Amino acid sequence: MSSKSAVWHPFTQHAVQPEAILVDGAEGAWLHAPDGRRIFDAVSSWWVVTHGHRHPHIVQAIKNQIDRLDQVIFAGFTHPPAETLARQLVAITPPELEYVFFSDSGSTSVEVALKMALGFWRHRGENRSRILALQGAYHGDTIGGMSVGERGVFNAPYDSLLFDVERLPFPYPGSEQATLEALKAACRSGGIAALIVEPLILGAGGMLIYPPWVLSEMKQICRAHNVLFIADEVMTGWGRTGTLFACEQADVTPDIACYSKGLTGGSLPLAVTLCRADIFEAHFSTDRSRTFFHSSSYTANPVACAAAVANLEIWQREPVKARIDRIAATHARRLDRFRDDRRFANVRQIGTIAAFDIVTSDAGYLATIGPQLYKDFLARDVLIRPLGNTIYLMPPYCSSDRELDAVYDAIEGVVA
């Protein structure tokens, strides 16, 4: 692709990565370039593609919907795909989550969740505006998402725009109780509106995993102090951690939940924020100043909603859970050889997500080895986008054992 492209790419330093790879097709777990090159999508194109690229059922649903209705304002109007999707989401999530608010991305679903929480307490006449979050977390690139995310290289230039958030230490193995005690202390101090967490695993924060019992304890502490519990399942949802939603493994019902990425199977951008009835009712009033003031022009786009409905039908009709279990088993088998290898550290896995760190002197997101690993993997026709010195895999569920074995062979070859 020409270096004269006018496109400014995300999370890309163009001074060291001037050329973008042109992709003009995809199928299953593979990306296709015009020259016939095929690249294995080992990260599900930023964690969104679940069943594989261009799943026929989702493609057909998109074609059918575009012939009927492409877009309609969602303030004062509705349409069948949105109504169907909302009903189905309420049916497969905990019964306490009764209302669905549509948005366009994971970041905006988090913005919606934070605004719901703050509006809830304001309209109830309670002075609660403090937000708690885990150290190392990433919740998106909008102002609210950056505010509740870890401060650092991702958001340092915009620090003056961000609001203060109180951090809880990440529950590393052996230090889980310190996290829980910090949460208790913060809740006892008063004024806490909500705790927001990525359940069971941090995503862009380094693919760090913590056990379900910690998530359960955090929810119980929040309940005891009447603090809203927000689950950011943008990445963890739709089977990535081995269950449909990560909170299921801890038997946790969030007060507010954010879902995106795999919501449409990775075909179109769409997000939802689900909440308890009392949060909706706090905004329900003849006083128009209590309206929930949030939207985008494309809220609940009919075509995206139709794709999401088709995605849920795939979960019902196809053996998706069996595919997830098979990928998890393949990860476990191939990761075993890394555990006693001194070049690797913190070998870890949850569901279809596998991760490990390359031992290097400059660990972290800006580790020197990161761009070289990315380049070397692409040279072997594998898309793996390391988080600094952390290599992770999050493949589409259609990936075969043979394909995954080839990916692990590529990893061993590159690291060697």
Per residue, what are the HEC states of 211-231? CHHHHHHHHHHHHHCCCEEEE
In a domain, 304, yes or no: yes
Count of structural domains, the chain: 2
Q: Is there a single domain that holds both residue 277 and residue 218?
A: yes
CA dist 199 and 231 (Å) reads 6
Within a domain: residue 40? no
Helices 320-335 and 401-415 pack at an angle, to 10 degrees, of 30
- Please give the Cα distance from 103 to 151 (Å, whole number): 25
Give the per-residue pLDDT at 177.
98
Q: Structure tokens of 263?
A: 């919501």
Of 371, 390, 407, which marks where a domain is finished? Answer: 371
Paired strand residues for 131? 194
- pLDDT > 50? residue 2: no
165 and 183 fall within a common domain? yes
Residue ending a domain, choose from 299, 317, 335? 317
Any domain includes 399:
no
CATH of the domain at 123: 3.40.640.10
Task: Judge if 128 and 198 occupy the same domain.
Answer: yes
Q: 358 and 294 share a domain?
A: no
Is the whole model's pTM more than 0.95, yes or no? Answer: yes
**Segments forming the whole domain that contains residue 203:** 59-317
The stretch 158-165 carries a mean pLDDT of: 96
- The answer to whether position 156 is within a domain reads yes
Q: Which of 355, 371, 387 is the last residue of a domain?
A: 371
For all residues of the chain together, what is the average pLDDT?
96
Residue 3: per-residue pLDDT = 55
Model confidence pLDDT, tens digit, residues 113-155: 999 999 999 999 999 999 999 999 999 999 999 999 999 888 9
Pair 192, 337 in one domain: no
Res 204: pLDDT: 95
Say if residue 234 is in the same domain as residue 367: no
Specify whether 141 is located in the same domain as 164.
yes
Comparing 1-5, 109-113, 334-338, the range with the smallest average pLDDT is: 1-5
Decide if 144 contacts 108 (C-beta within 8 A).
Answer: no
Same-domain check for residues 224 and 332: no
Q: Within this chain, do residues 169 and 100 fall inside the same structural domain, yes or no?
A: yes
Residue 411 within any structural domain of the chain: no
Residue among 244, 240, 185 nearest 209 (CA): 240
> For the purposes of burial, counting CB atoms within 10 Å of the CB of 345, is it exposed (0-12), middle (13-18) or buried (19 or more)?
middle
Specify if 297 maps to a domain. Answer: yes
Please tell me whether residues 209 and 336 are part of one structural domain.
no
Q: pLDDT tens digits for 162-211?
A: 999 999 999 999 999 999 999 999 999 999 999 999 999 999 999 999 99
What is the distance between the alpha carbons of residues 55 and 58, in angstroms, rounded to a whole number?
6
Same domain, 326 and 192: no
Whether pLDDT at 17 is above 90: no
Question: Within this chain, do residues 232 and 328 fall inside the same structural domain, yes or no?
Answer: no
Convert the pLDDT of each residue in 278-317 to its tens digit: 999 999 999 999 999 999 999 999 999 999 999 999 999 9
Is residue 394 in some structural domain? no
Residue 412 lies in a domain: no
Closest to 263 (Cα-Cα) out of 237, 300, 295: 237
Residue 358 DSSP SS3: strand
Q: With beta carbons less than 8 A apart as the criterion, state whether 147 and 323 touch.
A: no
